[in-house]
Chains A and B, each alone.
Chain A
C-alpha cells in the first residue's frame, strides 16, 4: 500500500483526521489522542520549482520540499498543519504558509523551549502542551485524558521496540540491511501507532539474528536522503550501527516516564530525550551521546555526518564534534547533501576514500 493509499484509508475507514507535520519535535501522542494521524513532511519525493518563487536559493531543501508539497496542491487531503519551532527556517516557513498562502486549513504552532536546563522551561513546555490542546479542541472536540494516557502508553510501547531494534543493530544482532532498517522505521513518520507497533514487532522478529560480521559506522545529521548512502554502505558490507539522525534516534528513542499526569509524563520524556540541535542542546551533551553510541555498538570504525546543505543548527556543531572524535581517534567524514538529488559520484568517491582510510 502506498503512503497516499494508507492515509486515505485512515481517513475514510477509521474516520481519522490527517495533519501535515513539519520537522521536528512535537507531541505526537496528543495528536493520536485527538484522533489525528500526524503525517510528517521531511523529504517528499518532488522536484522543487514553485517553492523557488517563495524562498531564496540559500534555504535548506527540507523547507523547500515541504513548501513545494503545499504549492503543488498535494496536501489537499490534509485537515491541518502543525509547525514546531525547529529553526529559523521552519519558523519563517510557518509564517509564509499561514500569513501569505491563504490556505483554508488550520495551522498550529508549537514553541518548545530552547533552554532545556531550567525549571521554567519544564513548566513552559507543559503549558505549551495544554495551549496546543486547547487550540486543537476548537477544531477536533475535547481531548479525553484517559485516551491520552492510552496513547502515551502506546507511544512508549513503540519507543520500547525501537530501542530494542536500535540495541540489536548496535550489537550486530539484526540481520536487516541498512536500507531495510530505515525503510521500516521511517514508516513511523505517517503510520498510526496501532499499525506501526505490529509492523515493528514483525520486523524485529523477522530480522533478529547475527548480522554479517563487518565493520560499522555511525550516521549523524537530519535524515538518510538520498537513500543511496544506505545501499552504498550495504554494498560495501558496512552496517550502520547507530544513528544520531533527527528523524532517528534523537526523536524516536523517547525515554519512558511513569508520572501520573499525562502532561507531566510527556514533559518528563521530552526533557530526557537524546540531545538535539533544534532544542539547543549543549555541544558537550551531543559529544557524549556520540561517544556513548560508539562505546555501546560493536565494530564502529567511524562517524559520517550526512549534512543537509544550509542547515544552520547542525553545521555549527560539526567542527567541534569532528575534533572531539579525533581525540578519541575516531575518524569522521562530513558530507554535504541536497535532498532528493542523485547519490553523486563525488559523494561515492569521498565515501570510498574514507572507507579506505579507516581500513575497510
Chain B
C-alpha cells in the first residue's frame, strides 16, 4: 500500500529541516564569504559590536526561512506597531514590510522599487515603504530572496493611517483578509471607553485568526508570549539606557540596525535572548571603558526614522568630529510603552501598550518625551529628519524644533529627506545645513 503524506506535511518537514539545518548552514557559508571581503573599519569608530554577527544570523535566518514558511505555517504580513503577540498564539510566520522597506533602503534599492510602484500609477508622494512594498509586489524584486504571500494582513493604525491605506491595496490585490486593530488617537488621553473598544476588537479578531490559521486560541500561551514581549521591551530599554553612559558604548546608528529583532520577532524567545546578549556586551563595554566612537565630544539625539541609505556614511561623518548619537525617539518607541503589557490583564494592557506609542500621541507628549531624553542623556544637539514619507512623524517638527530651542537652548538642525527614496534627498543641501549645525555645536 502506498504511503502518502499530505503536501502540507512535506512543507512542514521542509520548513523545520531548513530551520534547524539549512539556515545555519547558509549562514555559515555567508560568514565565510564575508570574511574574505573584509570591510574597511572607520578609524573614528570604536570596535564593532560582537553581537552584530548574531544579529545577522537571526535576521538572515528569519528572511531565509520565510521562503519555506508558506503552507508550513500560516503567514501574516504585519505593520510594525501591530500587537503581534496575538498572532504568535496562532503560530503565524510574520513578515514586516516596513522592516523589509528599511532593508531595501539600506541596500539603496529604494528608488528602483518605488519606481516600479509609480509605473503602476502610485504617486511619488506616498510613503516610500509602501511604494517599495508595492514595487516588490509588481516586480518580485527583493534583497531578501523571496517573501511568502500572506494568508492575512494584520495592521494597526497606531503608527499612521498610511499603513491602513497600503494594506487595503494588498488585500485588494491578493483577495486576502485585512484585520485592523484600530487605536483611537490620543488627543486628550486614552480613556476607559477607548480601552474597551480596543479590547472588543481583540475579541472580534480571535475567531477570524482561528479560522485563518487553523489553530485555537490559548490564553495561557498568550500570557506566556506577553510575558516574553514585556521582558524583551524592558531589556531593549536597558540596552538603550547604556548610552546614558559617557562615552556611550553604542551609537544610535548601531541601534537602528539592532532594533530589527524587536520590530520583527517581538514575543519570541530568540528575540529576548538576543537582547540579553547585547545588553551584557554593552555593560561589559561600559565597565571596560570601550566607547562606540573614539573621541566622544558631543552627544546628539535623532528624531524620526533613520535615513537608511546614509547610515554608514553618517556614522563616520559624525564620528570623525567626535559627535555621537546616543538617543533617538525612533529606537525609544519600542521601549516606551510595551512594558505596560501585563500577563494578568493581557487584553487591556495590550490595548494600552499599543495605543500609547509615540506616533499615536499628541505633539505635547512628544515634546515632553524629547525634553526628558535630552536631559537624561545629556544631549548637546538634535538632528531632526523631516521625512517626506512619514507625515505623522514629520508634521509638527518645525514647532518641536522651535520649542525645544526656546525651552532648553538646544542646538538643532532639520534635514529634509526620506528614509529610503534618495531621489528627494539633496546631499549639497544636507551638507550646508550640517556644516552650520557643526559650527553651532562648537560654539
Contact = CB atoms under 8 A, between A and B. Distances in A.
Range class of the A interface residue count: 35 or more
Contacts of A315: 122-123, 125-126
Which one of B121, B160, B364, B367 has the greatest number of beta carbons of chain A within 10 Å? B121
Contacts of B180: 114-115, 280
Contact of A92 (B157, B191, B395): B395
Given A85-B185, A99-B364, A284-B172, A312 B126 contact: yes
Interface stretch (A55-63, A70-78, A153-161, A224-232): A55-63
Contact of A100 (B130, B182, B188, B363): B363
A119 B197 contact: no
Contact of B187 (A88, A111, A280): A111
B365 to A, nearest CB: 9
A118 B403 CA distance: 41
Contacts of B185: 85, 91, 109, 111
Contact of B168 (A58, A109, A283): A283
A291 interface: no
B200 A123 contact: yes
Given A118-B201, A280-B180, A283-B168, A319 B120 contact: yes
A280 B164 contact: yes
B182 A312 contact: no
Contacts of B165: 277, 280, 312-313, 316-317
A115 B392 CA distance: 20
Which one of B180, B388, B395 has the greatest number of beta carbons of chain A within 10 Å? B395
Contacts of A309: 125
Given A118-B204, A280-B180, A320-B169, A95 B197 contact: no
Given A111-B185, A115-B180, A124-B193, A92 B363 contact: yes
Contacts of A316: 122, 126, 130, 165-166, 168-169
Which one of A91, A123, A313 has the greatest number of beta carbons of chain B within 10 Å? A91
Interface in A35-86: 53-56, 58-59, 63, 83, 85
Interface string B165-186: 1101101100000001010110
Given A88-B162, A310-B125, A96 B182 contact: no
Contacts of A54: 398-399
A291 to B, nearest CB: 15
B88 to A, nearest CB: 22
Contact of A120 (B130, B161, B204): B204
Interface in A107-159: 109, 111, 113-115, 118-121, 123-124, 127-128, 131
A334 B120 CA distance: 13
B188 A109 contact: yes
A319 B131 CA distance: 12
A282 interface: yes
A94 interface: yes
B187 A109 contact: yes
B363 A56 contact: no
B224 interface: no
B396 interface: yes
A161 B276 CA distance: 66
A87 interface: yes
A45 B215 CA distance: 57
8 contacts: A91-B392, A92-B396, A93-B395, A98-B362, A123-B197, A124-B184, A316-B165, A316-B168
Kindly list the 7 A-B residue pairs having the minimum CB-CB distance in the complex, ordered from nearest: A319-B121, A120-B200, A92-B395, A316-B165, A109-B187, A124-B197, A99-B364
Given A56-B397, A309-B125, 19 more contacts: A55-B398, A56-B388, A88-B162, A88-B391, A92-B392, A93-B395, A95-B364, A96-B363, A100-B363, A120-B197, A124-B197, A128-B193, A131-B191, A277-B165, A282-B168, A283-B169, A312-B165, A316-B126, A317-B168
Interface of A: 53-56, 58-59, 63, 83, 85, 87-89, 91-96, 98-100, 109, 111, 113-115, 118-121, 123-124, 127-128, 131, 277, 280, 282-284, 309-310, 312-313, 315-320, 322-323, 334, 336
